[in-house]
Structure 1
Amino acid sequence: MVSFAVTQEGIWTVKRSIESHNHELAKPDDQHLLRSSRHITDESASVLKSMSDAGISTVNAFTYLSEEVGGVENLGFTKRDAYNYLQKERRAKIENGDTYSLIQLFKERVAADNMFAWDVQLDEQERLMNFFWADGLARIDYDCFGDVIIFDTSYRLNKYNLACAPIVGVNNHWQNIILGIAFLSDETIESFTWLFTTFLRIMDNKHPITIFTDQDQAMARAIETTLPNTRHRLCQWHIYKKAPSKVWCFNSTNKVKNLFHTCFSKCDSEEEFETAWNAMMKEGNLQNHQWLNDLYKIRSKWSTAFNKNCFNLGILSTQRSESTNHVCHGISKPTSSITECFLGLEKMMKTWRRNEKDEDFKCSQSEIQPYIKSSSILKQAALFYSRKLYSFFEEEFLQGVGGLCIEYSSSDLTMFYVKSIDKCPDSKIWTVLFNSSQGTIQCSCAKFEMMGILCSHCMRVLRQLDIVNIPEKYFLPRWSARARKDLYAGRKITNLSNSSCLSVEVPGNLKIRNYVCRFAYKISTEAQGNAEAEQCMLDGMTSMARNVQLILEGKKINNTNPVCGRKNIKDPAKCRPKGISNARLKDHWEKKKKKKIKNTDFTAPTSIQFTPESNGSQSSFM
Structure 2
Amino acid sequence: MEHGEAASLGRYFSCQLKENPSYYFATQLDCEELITNIFWANARMIIDYSHFGDVITFNTTYSTNRDSRPLGVFLGLNHHRETVVFGGALLYDETIESFVWLFESFFEAVSEKKPITIFTNQYAAMSAAIKVVMPKTYHALCSWHMWQNAKKHLGHLLKNESQFNDDFLRCIYEYDGEDEFLTAWNEMLDKYNFRENKWLIDLFKLKEKWAQAYVKRTFTAGMKTTQLSESFNADLKDCLHTDLNIVEFFTHFETVVNQERDKELEAKYNSRHKFPRLKLKSSPMLNQVATMYTPTLFDLFQTKVEEVMTLSILEHNASQTHSYVVGVFNQYGKYEVMWNPLDETLSCSCKKFKSFGVLCRHGLKVLDVLDIKLIPNRYIMKRWRRDAKDGSGKNCTTHNIKPDTQLEYVD
Q: Normalising by structure 2, what TM-score?
A: 0.92
> How far apart are the structure 2 equivalents of 1:278 and 1:256?
13
Change (3 A) 1:255 1:410: farther
Assess if the C-alpha contact under 8 Å between 1:233 and 1:302 holds in 2: yes
Among all aligned residue pairs of Structure 1 and Structure 2, give the percentage whose two residues are the same amino acid.
33
Structure with higher RCO (Cα < 8 A, 6+ apart): 2
The 2-side partners of 1:249 and 1:405 are apart by 40
CA–CA separation in structure 2 for the residues paired with 1:404 and 1:253: 35
Amino acid in the other structure paired with 2:347: Q
The one-letter amino acid paired with 1:433 is M
Describe the superposition over 1:404-445 as per-residue Cα deviations: whole angstroms up to 9, x where unpaired.
Answer: 222222244812222225x34xx1112211112121111111
Corresponding letter in the other structure for 2:35: L
Q: 1:304 to 1:130 in 2, by over 3 A?
A: same
- In 1: Cα distance, 2:350 partner to 2:297 partner: 19
- Larger deviation, residues 125-134 vs 475-484: 125-134
Question: Does 1:323 find its partner at 2:231?
Answer: yes
1:336 equivalent among 232, 241, 244: 244
Equivalent in the alignment of 1:182:
89
1:294 equivalenced with 2:181 (yes/no):
no
Per-residue deviation, 1:489: 9.1
| Secondary structure, counterpart of 1:434 in structure 2 | strand
Q: 1:465 aligns to what?
A: 370
1:114 to partner: Cα distance: 1.5
- Cα 1:123–1:96 change in 2 (3 A) is closer
Q: Which residue of 2 aligns with 1:115?
A: 22
Partner Cα distance (2:297, 2:8) in 1: 42
The residue aligned with 1:405 is 312
What count of residue pairs does the alignment treat as equivalent?
401
Alignment of 1:229 with 2:136, yes or no, is yes
Q: Map of 1:34-433 to 2, 5 A cutoff?
A: 97-247=4-154, 248-401=156-309, 403-412=310-319, 414-421=322-329, 423-424=330-331, 427-433=332-338
Mapped to 2, the partners of 1:212 and 1:100 lie a distance apart of: 35
Sort the Cα spacing of 1:268 and 1:97 in 2 relative to 1 into closer, same or farther, 3 A.
same
Structure 2 residue aligned with 1:532: none
Q: Provide the rounded CA distance (Å) in 1 between the counterparts of 2:373 and 2:337.
A: 18
Q: 5+ unaligned residues in a row in structure 2: which ranges?
A: 404-411
- Deviations, residues 162-182 of structure 1 (Å, cap 9, x unaligned): 211110011000000110000
Query: Is the contact between residue 110 and residue 396 of structure 2 (CA under 8 Å) also seen in structure 1?
Result: no
Instruction: Please list, as runs of the form range in 1=range in 2, the aligned pairs for 1:576-587 lying within 5 A after superposition.
Output: none
Q: Deviations over 1:228-277 (max 9, x none)?
A: 11111111111112224423534434544333222212121222211111
The AA in structure 1 aligned to 2:100 is: T
1:508 offset after TM fit, Å?
4.7
Q: Larger Cα Rg: Structure 1 or Structure 2?
A: 1
Within 2, Cα distance between the matches of 1:275 and 1:384?
Answer: 42
Query: Cα gap change, 1:299/1:445 in structure 2, threshold over 3 Å: closer, same or farther?
Result: same
**Contact 1:331 1:341 survives alignment (8 Å):** no
SS in structure 1 at match of 2:291: helix
Distance (Å, rounded) in 2 between the aligned partners of 1:111 and 1:95? 26
TM-score (norm 1): 0.62
Deviation at 1:295, TM superposition (A): 0.7
Q: SS of 2:61's equivalent?
A: coil
> Could you tell me which residue of structure 2 aligns to residue 513 of structure 1?
400
1:152 offset after TM fit, Å?
1.0
State the Cα distance separating 1:341 from its structure 2 match. Answer: 1.1
User: Residues 367-415 of structure 1, C-alpha deviation per residue, up to 9 Å, x if partnerless?
Assistant: 22322100111111112100111111111111122x2222222244812
Structure 2 counterpart of 1:190, one-letter code:
E
The amino acid that maps onto 1:481 is R
Partner letter of residue 373 of structure 1? K
Q: In structure 1, how many angstroms separate the alpha carbons of the residues matched to 2:173 and 2:339? A: 25
Whether the aligned pair in 2 keeps the contact of 1:130 and 1:183 (CA below 8 Å) is yes
Are residue 442 (structure 1) and residue 329 (structure 2) matched? no
CA contact (8 A) 1:146 1:208 kept: yes
User: How far off its partner does 1:96 sit?
Assistant: 7.6
The change in CA–CA distance for 1:508 and 1:289 in structure 2 (over 3 A counts) is closer
